[in-house]
Amino acid sequence: MPVDASSLSGQGQTICVTGAGGFIASWMVKLLLDKGYTVRGTARNPADPKNSHLRELEGAEERLTLCKADLLDYESLKEAIQGCDGVFHTASPVTDDPEEMVEPAVNGTKNVIIAAAEAKVRRVVFTSSIGAVYMDPNKGPDVVIDESCWSDLEFCKNTENWYCYGKAVAEQAAWDMAKEKGVDLVVVNPVLVLGPLLQPTVNASIVHILKYLTGSAKTYANSVQAYVHVRDVALAHILVFETPSASGRYLCSESVLHRGEVVEILAKFFPEYPIPTKCSDEKNPRKQPYKFSNQKLRDLG
């Protein structure tokens, strides 16, 4: 379904955000409200105190509705999405348990796409992950990772990386179902997302940094990681929704750092914390950063 460029302002438009109380989704809700959109957020239990921060956002009283919905309950999703102009599907389990990760991610994504097709929404923006992109043992640090890259599913299974496996198969399921149902789908693939928390709970990506501040990590790993700010990720979703020409996948990445660089930055800003100074692997050469291209997203705006 083509995107109508004449009706893309936030005012008068309704977006459904799945898993609205999550780290990235909360920022989506905030920025959508800031732009004048009406937001319908899904949550398994809207009354749960962990979702209370959403009701405190500017514009929430007038333009935010929290709907009780579960990814595996099609009827609840159908009700939440009906009447919306777009869907930002960001709800997904974050776990390395294959039973908890793969089936809910795949079937939940299919349900969202089917419900979006029935509601005739203008566009679905799906939050995938770099985990669906870069897990490939045949790609060295000199290879530039871009939107054409996909994680090697056999490698993910053999290494029991069920998070990356689940992200890859869920994204592929989204593309397959969108094609079957004629849904205009755009995918954002963020790297590790950091930034201020709007929600009252600590999410998995923030633990990545907290462990160096709390003293629970006595050393840092000889590994590299790509990072991006949560606000930039939320803005990227809005950008690809609002831009008629947006299509396909968009990597969302800012910096690629070795863990040693991360702890150096933390020590500079938080010298009072017990930040580790030793690498857990001092025998092998320092791992070199991968190269990620975010040019496609930059070209969009």
Q: How far apart are CA 265 and CA 14, in angstroms?
A: 40
Residues 6+ apart with CB under 8 A from 301: 239, 243
Query: Which of residues 59 and 1 earns the better pLDDT score?
Result: 59
Residue 98's pLDDT band, with cuts at 50, 70 and 90, is confident
Residue 7's pLDDT band, with cuts at 50, 70 and 90, is very low
Q: How far apart are CA 220 and CA 295, in angstroms?
A: 30
Which of 76-85, 87-96, 201-210, 227-236 is predicted least confidently? 87-96
Q: How far apart are CA 197 and CA 160, in angstroms?
A: 30
Strands 248-252 and 192-194: unpaired
Residues 6+ apart with CB under 8 A from 269: none
Residue 9's pLDDT band, with cuts at 50, 70 and 90, is low
Averaged pLDDT, 62-78: 96
CB of 151 closer than 8 Å to CB of 135: yes
Predicted confidence (pLDDT) at residue 213 exceeds the cutoff of 70: yes
Q: Give the SS3 label for residue 279.
A: strand
Q: How far apart are CA 265 and CA 138, in angstroms?
A: 31
Report residue 9 as tokens: 């302002």
Predicted confidence (pLDDT) at residue 285 exceeds the cutoff of 60: yes
Q: Give me the pLDDT at residue 5, please.
A: 38
Q: Give me the pLDDT at residue 95, please.
A: 66
Q: How far apart are CA 215 and CA 224, in angstroms?
A: 20
Residues 6+ apart with CB under 8 A from 183: 1, 113, 116, 117, 121, 124, 177
pLDDT in tens, 273-284: 999 999 999 899
Q: How far apart are CA 274 and CA 212, in angstroms?
A: 7
Domain annotation for the chain: domains and CATH numbers: 14-200+228-253 (3.40.50.720)
Predicted confidence (pLDDT) at residue 43 exceeds the cutoff of 70: yes
Query: Where is 179: in which H helix or E strand?
Result: helix 162-181
Report residue 300 as tokens: 């969009």
Active-site positions read 167
Residue with tokens 């949560």: 230
CB of 248 closer than 8 Å to CB of 278: no
Strands 255-258 and 224-229: antiparallel
Q: How far apart are CA 297 and CA 130, in angstroms?
A: 14
pLDDT in tens, 101-160: 788 889 999 999 999 999 999 999 999 999 999 999 888 778 899 999 999 999 999 999
Q: Give me the pLDDT at residue 250, please.
A: 98
Q: How far apart are CA 110 and CA 106, in angstroms?
A: 6
- Which is nearest to 230 in space by CA: 273, 188, 193, 278? 193
Alpha-carbon separation of residue 62 from 34, 38, 57, 161 (angstroms): 12, 8, 10, 42
Q: How far apart are CA 126 and CA 38, in angstroms?
A: 19
Looking from the CA of 65 toward its CB, the CA atoms found within 13 Å total 13
Q: Give me the pLDDT at residue 6, please.
A: 40
Mean of all residue pLDDT scores within the chain: 92
Which of 3-7, 140-144, 276-280, 285-289 is predicted least confidently? 3-7
